[in-house]
A = this chain, B = another copy of it.
Amino acid sequence: MTRTEGRGVKQRGWIVGLIAAGALVVVGILVGTGLLGGSGGAPAANGVAKAMVPPGELDEYYLFASGGHSGQVFVYGVPSMRRIRTIPVFTPDPALGYGYDEKTKEMLGGLTWGDVHHPALSETNGEYDGRWLFVNDNANNRVARINLKTFFTEQILGPVPNIMGPHSACFVTPNTEYLFMGSRFATPIPHGTYAPLEEFSEKYKGVLAAIKIDPETGHMSLAWQLLLPPWSFDLGDAGKKVSDGWHFLTTYNTEEAYETLEVGASARDRDYIVMFNWREAEKAAEEGKYTLIDGVKVIDPVEVPGIVYLMPVAKSPHGVDVSPDGRYIVASGKLQPTVTVYDFEKIQEAIRNGRIAGHERGLPILDYPEVRVAEVEVGLGPLHTQFDDKGYAYTSLFIDSAVVKWKLGEWTVVDKIDVHYNPGHLCAAEGDTVSPDGKWLVSLNKMAKDRYLSVGPSHPESLQLIDISGDKMQLVYEAPVDPEPHYAQMVKADKIRPEVMFMKDPNRPYSVWDVADARIERNGDEVHVYMVAVRSRFVPDRIEVNQGDTVYFHITNTDMDQDISHGFGIPLYDMDVQVEPGETKTVKIVADKPGVFPFYCTNFCSALHQEMQGWLLVKPAQ
């Protein structure tokens, strides 16, 4: 560590002297070259053994990681860091036939990708309850719900009106009443409105949407929105325990710059933490204190006081994180070597006593000295903070390529460890709950450089596993990850109780459970095939249609054994789905190509899988 710390110090002095947006561009370049990237020293040899899960044994935690612009969610086991599953969410995936059957095709709405940033597990009383996982699409203004009984995406909501680039999502309230999504990109609203950039401050709007979640089904619906200044809302966290009912957002570009942002959005020394009382906002919506914009109830907090307050923070903050007890709010100006800690009790006191330092955009600014309890010097590029069960906080340092451990209340740094390289977010075991486990910490690193066998110009990102159970952090293991790990949540394995197959439901529309009921029905030029897939046959296995027919295949997998999934692929018709045990899926093709097309099981199912095949014969139109 000595070499690293030595360099760390040199580097800190060097950078603090330069600290300014322009300089940060230089820093960015040095980071890219690896000059500031950390040493790559291996851990104590015994460390790696902690990540070893022998054959036949199971991992202790699930890690749900955002797949970034892959549009998907990756499921890892911890501590082995093995990627167990890719859950398709916003991008079609023929491996499961996601986006190929009629139901998921409709859910995707013609879009073929998304930008998944921040997964949020559903919570009950501030604890992960293992029911659902919510993720945002930063590109297309959507949110999705994954059912953790099936690990399948069940609902996609959006594109949500008036919202553009909801980077500050998904963050759920302690009982999953809401998830909030705030715009990173201000635009004229409603969408479709054109206004020149010169009218940015006047006509471009920041918006936050409150997505209501049904406590029984998890169904998401758009409840109301807050009209905000044309700032970039970056990340968020819900209050919990003492701060339950409030939500916190970081914002940058309060300069309202719209060109060369890497300079323009860093001109001021301070940006804001935007905090709002969602129960008050809910009440305002009920009381009709809103304007309908594109069909949505939009509340202007300037006209409805008591909902939104601003707290000054060092410029261009990234993470804002609420401590497990709900008392402390930790924010990091990414261009400052410190994290700022606010005390929720002082915040409430300042609000009660009207300690307002001024207003911006008509929104009240709380008096900084009144609400801030500490500025902890942690190192360069603090981005995101997680917590353990012993009163410690862990902050990622993007520029230092390190994780720093510090003590809440005492505000002192107690440990620091190199990661490789340039961490964004951190993920601690049960880290966003009211009772973190304090066992594992995963550093989601943006650069891997030379840490893995080279795979050409496009490098993997990297997840590094750190043991935080002792006084000193220990780097244990590292795993490459596909683009791009923005955020992750880690939950105790026994909280997730998946179903290993679907229940047989004789009343399910289009399902067929007995080969005797398998059939082909024609209605004009529409053909419906009611098909059974059972080891190792398709029944019927011979479908004759006319060129131009629309053919629906309603396929039921009647193999009620776990792990016996059947595939259904048709060459040259660009069709592939997977049908799980007990599941029924409907796919549609237009038989526009004449000739003979064998269809076959694309997912290995039994000793005679290779023989599981049938024929689609398309008679040429005369």
Contact = CB atoms under 8 A, between A and B. Distances in A.
Contacts of A150: 456-457
A197 interface: yes
A571 B165 CA distance: 7
B194 A595 contact: yes
A55 B582 CA distance: 43
Contact of A252 (B93, B581, B610): B610
A31 B452 CA distance: 37
A311 to B, nearest CB: 20
Nearest to A567: B69
Nearest to A261: B611
A484 interface: yes
The count of identical subunits is: 2
Given A115-B576, A449-B562, A541-B259, A457 B610 contact: no
A562 B456 CA distance: 9
A250 to B, nearest CB: 11
A458 interface: yes
A516 interface: no
Given A28-B607, A71-B94, A82-B479, 5 more contacts: A40-B56, A56-B451, A139-B569, A262-B536, A456-B500
Contacts of A603: 68-69, 483-484
29 contacts: A27-B607, A28-B606, A28-B609, A31-B606, A31-B607, A32-B559, A33-B561, A40-B56, A52-B52, A55-B477, A69-B569, A81-B82, A82-B480, A83-B83, A83-B480, A85-B480, A139-B576, A149-B456, A159-B572, A185-B571, A185-B613, A191-B595, A196-B617, A197-B615, A261-B611, A266-B608, A424-B604, A457-B502, A459-B500
Contacts of A292: none
B260 A537 contact: yes
Q: 3 nearest interchain CB pairs?
A: A28-B606, A94-B113, A151-B456
Given A69-B567, A165-B598, A457-B580, A94 B112 contact: yes
Nearest to A455: B85
B582 A457 contact: yes
A67 interface: yes
Given A188-B595, A188-B596, A262 B484 contact: no
Interface residues of A, number: 173
Contacts of A195: 596
Interface in A252-290: 252-253, 258-262, 265-266
A95 interface: yes
B449 A563 contact: yes
A92 interface: yes
Contacts of A596: 187-188, 193-195, 204
A358 interface: no
B608 A28 contact: yes
A96 interface: yes
Interface in A542-564: 542, 559, 561-564
A452 B483 contact: no
A580 B456 CA distance: 10
A197 B542 contact: yes
A193 B77 contact: no
Contacts of A59: 452-453
Contact of A562 (B87, B459, B563): B459
A49 B50 CA distance: 10
Scoring A45, A159, A597, A618 by chain B CB atoms within 10 A of each residue's CB, the highest score goes to: A597
Contact of A458 (B96, B187, B605): B96
Contacts of A410: none
B70 A55 contact: no
A398 B55 contact: no
A501 interface: yes
Contacts of A75: 455
A398 B43 CA distance: 41
A164 B571 CA distance: 8
Contact of A535 (B25, B67, B451): B25
A612 to B, nearest CB: 7
A546 to B, nearest CB: 10
A437 to B, nearest CB: 16
A253 B57 CA distance: 41
A140 interface: yes
Contacts of A245: none
A489 interface: no
A441 B482 CA distance: 25
B454 A498 contact: yes
A77 B452 contact: yes
B260 A541 contact: yes
Contacts of A204: 596
A376 B25 CA distance: 67
Nearest to A481: B83
A136 to B, nearest CB: 12
B564 A32 contact: yes
Contact of A192 (B100, B480, B593): B593
B563 A32 contact: yes
A325 interface: no
Nearest to A602: B69
A381 interface: yes
A533 to B, nearest CB: 12
Max count, chain B CB within 10 A of own CB: residue among A457, A559, A603, A611 = A457
A306 to B, nearest CB: 31
Given A480-B85, A580-B458, A602-B139, A262 B611 contact: yes
Nearest to A62: B453
A464 B139 CA distance: 38
A583 interface: yes
Contacts of A595: 187-188, 191-194
